[in-house]
Amino acid sequence: MNIYKNSLKNFNTFGIDVTAFKIIKITNINKLYYICKKYYYKSLPYIILGGGSNVLFLNHFKGIVIINRLKGININESKNCWNLHVYSGEYWHQFVKYTIKKGIFGLENLALIPGCVGSALIQNIGAYGVSLKNFCKYVDIMNLSNKKITRLSSKECNLQYRNSIFKNFYMHNYIIIALGMTISKKWKPNISYKDLNHLNLNTVTPHEIFNYICKIRKKKIPNPKIYGNAGSFFKNPLVSLKLGVKLLKTFPNIPYVIKNNIFKFSAAWLIDQCDLKGYIKGGAMIYFKHSLIIINKYKATSKDILYIAIKIYNSVGNKFGIWLEPEVRLIGSIGEINPSNIFTHNY
C-alpha cells in the first residue's frame, strides 16, 4: 500500500490540478477492504479510480481517492474458447496487447482505449463495431461494507451502450474485482465499421487490425500527456423513431444507424453543425480534429471544461431538440454528481 501526495493532477487524464484529502494505491484486496472500512467509519467519502481517463474533478475532493491496481490475468483454454479472468486494475490497452501476443484474437478492435479493465466494464466500452459486452461472461464484485464477493453473470450486469448496472445499483459501496471473458478460437475479422471496410476480409490479420486502429485513434485523439482530455465527452445520442424521422427530413445528411426502431446519431456531427469546433474558454478548447473531445490546452480549470460542455449541450439541444448525455463522470467535493443536476435544458 503506497500513500501519495494529495495532488490529483497525475491521476486524471484531463490533468486538472485539484487535491484530495488522501490518495492511496491498492494492490491487494484485503488492504482495499481495510482502507475502505477504516474511512467508512470515519464518515469520510471515497472514490475508486483506475486510469482516471473518464472523470472530471469539479472541486478539490474532501475524501479518499483509492487508485485500483489489482493486477493479474489467468487463462484457461477449452476446445473452442479462451476463458480469461482479468483483474480490474489491469490497463485495458496493455491487456489487449497481451492477448494479441498470446495468439488470442477478438479484442483488436478495442485497442488503445484508455483506462483500466474495471472502468471499461462500467462504461461497456465499444469501438469500431465491437463492444466489451460481446466477450463478458461474468464479473466479480466486492461489497466494501462486509467484504463479501459476488459473481454476477453478464446478463445481470445489464451491459448497454456506455452503460451498466455499475452506474446505478452497484454504484456505491462496491468495487469490481475481476472480469471473466470468453473469446472464441474461431476468429472472424470485424471490419464492418466504415473506417475499416477498405481492408480485405479474406486476408486481413488481427495484428493488422490492431495496428490500424491504433493509428486511427492516435490521429483522432490527442495524447493526454500533451493535451489533457478524456476522449469523447458526450455519448452518441439514442432517439425515438418519431424524432429520428423528423430530423432526417430536416437534415438529410445526418449520419445515423437504426436498430430496433431507435436511431443513433453522431454527436460529433451535431456539434459540428453548431460551428463549435475550435471553441476556446480559458485554457480549454473543443479539439479541432474531433468536436466530441474537449482538451486542456493550457492550464485549464474544471470550470473552463465544464463551461464548454454546457455550451455544447445547450447549442445542440436548442438546434436539434437532442440533449446530449455526458460520458465523462463528474466528481464533486464529496463524490460523483448526477449530470442532470448540472446540465439543464435551456430553451
Q: Is 69 a catalytic residue?
A: no
Please give the biggest Cα pair distance in the chain: 60
Task: Check 53, 90, 119, 327 and give the catalytic one.
Answer: 327
Q: Is 217 a catalytic residue?
A: no
Residue type, 301: T
293 and 284 Cβ atoms separated by less than 8 Å: no
Task: Check 90, 162, 291, 315 and give the catalytic one.
Answer: 162
How far is the CA of 128 from the CAs of 189, 196, 214, 221, 322, in angstroms?
11, 8, 11, 15, 24
Closest CA to 127 of 47, 214, 41: 214
How far is the CA of 39 from the CAs of 45, 65, 142, in angstroms?
8, 11, 17
Dihedral angle sign, alpha carbons of residues 33, 34, 37, 43 = negative
CA 116/CA 105 separation, integer angstroms? 19
Task: Check 88, 232, 291, 315 and give the catalytic one.
Answer: 232
Q: What share of the chain is helix, strand, coil (3-state, %, to 5)?
A: 25, 30, 45
39 and 63 Cβ atoms separated by less than 8 Å: yes
How far is the CA of 84 from the CAs of 71, 185, 347, in angstroms?
13, 13, 49
Q: Is 7 a catalytic residue?
A: no
240 and 230 Cβ atoms separated by less than 8 Å: no
- Say which residues have a Cβ less than 8 Å from residue 333's Cβ, sequence separation at least 6: 58, 59, 60, 61, 62
Grid cell 461497456 is found at 124
Catalytic positions are 162, 232, 327
